[in-house]
Structure 1
Amino acid sequence: MSADISPPDSPRRTRRKEARPAELLEAATCLFVEKGYAATRVEEVAARANVSKGTLFLYYPSKEALLKAVVRENIAGRFVEWSNELRDFAGSTPDLVRYAFAVWVERIAHTHAGGIYKLMTSECCNFPELATFYLEEVIKPGHDLVRRILQRGIERGEFRPIDVNAGIHLIMTPMFSYIQWRHSMGVCYPDSLGISAQAYFDMHLDNLLRGLAAHPQ
């Protein structure tokens, strides 16, 4: 790594310092998804971000703190934004469901953020504290968001009355199945799903919305 000889207060130094947290989180996200939490060393994260291990610890005092920051940056920290989008959505609830899926595919499923689900499910039994953290900051808020969508549809007469808690899993299980495949078998065999991602989600949405419809066509 080349030495930066810029003056301590130069704009270049300032920009570099401000960018470091994002660079470290990007490097950590990639490595955690590629190798798993236990197998990733903080030295590797620092090297990929082109900083020293000491610099990494200035921002994130432990590997656990680094993983929590990765989860918050990629998923947990977005729930306020997603909640506001739900609140302000003016269309029908079926259109809201389609929009939510499209956003999730674009922002989560087809990015490194999608690999966080596989990472956490594979590591949670070995790191119970991280499992509790993920449950409280990702799973429960995610369920609450989907619950609000379903309740919106029921209250507006667009969806038939259902067991909402069961409906949450009806919606989310195929999503998680897809990213589990994408970040496991799909890494080595991209065509092993047998259909395109678009076809997969189109079929799921068609079946889902037909099943939820208050007045099926």
Structure 2
Amino acid sequence: MHTPTSPSPTTAAKRERRKEARPGELIEAALELFVEKGFAATRVDEVAARAGVSKGTLFLYFSSKEELFKAVVRENIAGRFAEWTLELDAFEGSTDDLLRYCYKVWWERIGNTKASGITKLMLSEAHHFPEITQFYQREVMRPGQALIRRILQRGVDRKEIRPLDMDYAVYLVLAPMMFLMLWKHSMGACVPDALDLDPEKYLAMQADNILHGLYTAAPSPVTPPA
């Protein structure tokens, strides 16, 4: 028998499940607020209130706002690189197929989600917060560039694209993604139809532009003099 003040097994189980879910709820609330307000303007008590817990509860899981931000980045972006690496390892199509697939997957999993707002936040506030900037560079920028480098090097090795200066070629692939993230969280957020932009069509055209510029060109025919 249970005393009137003792929780039933069902109630205790619900509380335990709720406790296990709290880090995820806090991360989701933090993501929303970081994207809406920026890093500097977001307060931990706002995050706690949006997640439906006290500020003290938040600090049980995250020791500071910086650690909470790192958890947001790992959950929504950095933690996906292992999955993407496995997909790249298993991919059997051409460089054309691979680049188009990568753009499509990136838009579905990152670009068209709240997580893409983190990039705009970093561009806006990086110079004020060197610790989180170094963290973002280490866990997002460098792995992302390394993944793109692998995609391009795969094309070179298969003789589908010409040899490239990889240190700069990665930015050819990154540039359309950066544009879309800025558009989505600036002009696109305020006036969605301002550019009449279809992100998927835009990425397809950028892939065409990149690939036609990188493919091995056939020798031009020699035109005899008039």
Q: TM-score band, normalised by the shorter chain?
A: over 0.9
- Alpha-carbon distance between aligned partners in 2 of 1:72 and 1:81, rounded to the nearest angstrom: 13
* Contact 1:29–1:113 under 8 Å retained in 2: yes
The code of the aligned residue for 2:159 comes to G
Give TM-score scaled by structure 1 length.
Answer: 0.94
Counterpart in the other structure of 1:124: 126
1:62-211 mapped onto 2 (5 Å cutoff): 62-211=64-213
* Contact 1:7–1:13 under 8 Å retained in 2: no
Structure 1 residue 84: Cα displacement: 0.9
- Alpha-carbon distance between aligned partners in 2 of 1:46 and 1:154, rounded to the nearest angstrom: 49
Distance 1:6 1:213, change over 3 A: farther
Structure 1 residue 199: Cα displacement: 2.1
Q: Between Structure 1 and Structure 2, whose CA radius of gyration is higher?
A: 2
Structure 1 residue 177: Cα displacement: 1.1
Structure 1 residue 83: Cα displacement: 0.7
Structure 1 residue 6: Cα displacement: 5.2
The answer for unaligned runs of 5 or more in structure 2 is 1-5, 219-226
- Please give the root-mean-square deviation of Cα atoms over the aligned residues, in Å: 1.5
Structure 1 residue 7: Cα displacement: 5.1
Distance 1:6 1:40, change over 3 A: farther
The code of the aligned residue for 2:186 comes to S
Structure 1 residue 193: Cα displacement: 2.5
CA-to-partner distance for each residue in 1:179-209, whole Å, 9 max, x for gaps?
0111011111111223211221121111111
* Contact 2:33–2:47 under 8 Å retained in 1: yes
**What is the SS of the residue equivalent to 2:162?**
coil
The code of the aligned residue for 2:107 comes to V
After TM superposition, the runs of 4+ consecutive aligned structure 1 residues lying more than 3 A away are 5-9
1:20-99 mapped onto 2 (5 Å cutoff): 20-99=22-101
Structure 1 residue 123: Cα displacement: 1.0
Structure 1 residue 147: Cα displacement: 0.3
Structure 1 residue 116: Cα displacement: 0.5
- Alpha-carbon distance between aligned partners in 1 of 2:8 and 2:55, rounded to the nearest angstrom: 22
* Contact 2:100–2:204 under 8 Å retained in 1: no
Give TM-score scaled by structure 2 length.
Answer: 0.90
- Count of aligned positions: 212
Aligned-residue sequence identity (percent) comes to 58
- Alpha-carbon distance between aligned partners in 2 of 1:74 and 1:34, rounded to the nearest angstrom: 16
